[in-house]
């Protein structure tokens, strides 16, 4: 009797887990239908990079020049009571993904002038992909402009949207002060992801 109960219990746990996996996969499948940009390898790679960050807002970025990807980055701590990373640019306690990606390219010896920057993000607390059509980071613009970045690409649900650096600079002005709230305001609704780790696992499998 006890043995049978254990077997039935284990079977029940297996079925429960299997149904949970199926449910998660169904939700992710619907998300791919609603946001075709998830089929874009650049967007997927940016989200995978973002998943390594620990902030409430997480971002991943890539730098492209002459059809080659020359740098990658994520928002991360660069100055801490226990460490300080060697960085040409320090934005504060942490560096943003765009700047980290550009610095990565420069460390590899690339001339980043004329390059394009792609960036994608996710709001952890709100469990929402950051899909939008405005460039929102007034903190990064001065550095990207100074280093000669040509265009910034912004993810919408359908595709990347190109913003020349001057246009991005103008758009970013509105996000000075209380930037998190304002980014949430312009973030397109309907792209909730309760299990971001599960989504990233799927993206990793697709990218193999």
Q: What mean pLDDT value characterizes the chain?
A: 88
Same domain, 104 and 162: yes
Task: Say which residue the tokens 């059509």 belong to.
Answer: 133
Asked if 85 and 166 sit in the same domain, the reply is yes
Residues 76 and 43 in one domain: yes
Q: How many domains does the chain have?
A: 2
pLDDT for 128-178, tens place per residue? Answer: 999 999 999 999 999 999 999 999 999 999 999 999 999 999 999 999 988
**Which domain, by its residues, includes 89?**
36-207
- pLDDT at position 29, please? 83
Instruction: Examine the domain organization and report whether 102 and 158 are in the same domain.
Output: yes
- Say yes or no: 106 and 80 in one domain: yes
Same structural domain, 106 and 173: yes
Q: Is pLDDT above 60 for 184?
A: yes
pLDDT at site 28: 82
Task: Summarize pLDDT for 32-80 with one digit per residue, the tens.
Answer: 999 999 999 999 999 999 999 999 999 999 999 999 999 999 999 999 8
Indicate the pTM of the whole model. Answer: 0.86
Do 56 and 81 share a domain, yes or no?
yes
pLDDT at 26 over 80: no
H helices present in the chain, as ranges: 2-34, 41-50, 97-107, 141-146, 165-172, 179-186, 196-207
> Which are the contacts of 202, defined by CB distance < 8 A and separation ≥ 6?
25, 28
* pLDDT at residue 15 greater than cutoff 70: no
Whether residue 88 sits in one domain with residue 22: no
Same domain, 47 and 105: yes
Q: Say if residue 77 is in the same domain as residue 118.
A: yes
Helix (H, G, I), strand (E, B) or coil at 118: strand
Please indicate, yes or no, whether residues 175 and 87 belong to a single structural domain of this protein.
Answer: yes
């Amino acid at each position: 009797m006890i043995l049978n109960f254990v077997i039935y219990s284990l079977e029940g746990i297996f079925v429960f887990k299997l149904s949970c996996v199926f449910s998660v996969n169904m939700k992710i499948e619907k998300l791919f239908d609603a946001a075709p940009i998830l089929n874009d390898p650049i967007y997927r790679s940016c989200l995978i990079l973002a998943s390594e960050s620990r902030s409430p807002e997480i971002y991943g970025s890539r730098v492209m020049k002459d059809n080659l990807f020359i740098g990658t980055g994520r928002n991360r701590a660069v100055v801490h009571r226990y460490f300080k990373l060697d960085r040409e640019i320090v934005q504060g306690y942490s560096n943003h993904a765009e700047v980290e990606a550009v610095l990565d390219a420069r460390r590899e010896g690339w001339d980043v002038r004329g390059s394009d920057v792609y960036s994608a993000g996710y709001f952890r607390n709100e469990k929402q992909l950051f899909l939008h059509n405005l460039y929102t980071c007034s903190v990064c613009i001065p550095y990207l402009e100074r280093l000669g970045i040509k265009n910034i690409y912004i993810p919408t649900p359908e595709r990347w949207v190109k913003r020349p650096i001057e246009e991005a600079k103008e758009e970013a002005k509105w996000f000075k002060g209380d930037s998190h709230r304002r980014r949430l305001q312009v973030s397109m609704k309907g792209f909730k992801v309760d299990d971001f780790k599960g989504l990233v696992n799927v993206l990793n499998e697709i990218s193999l």
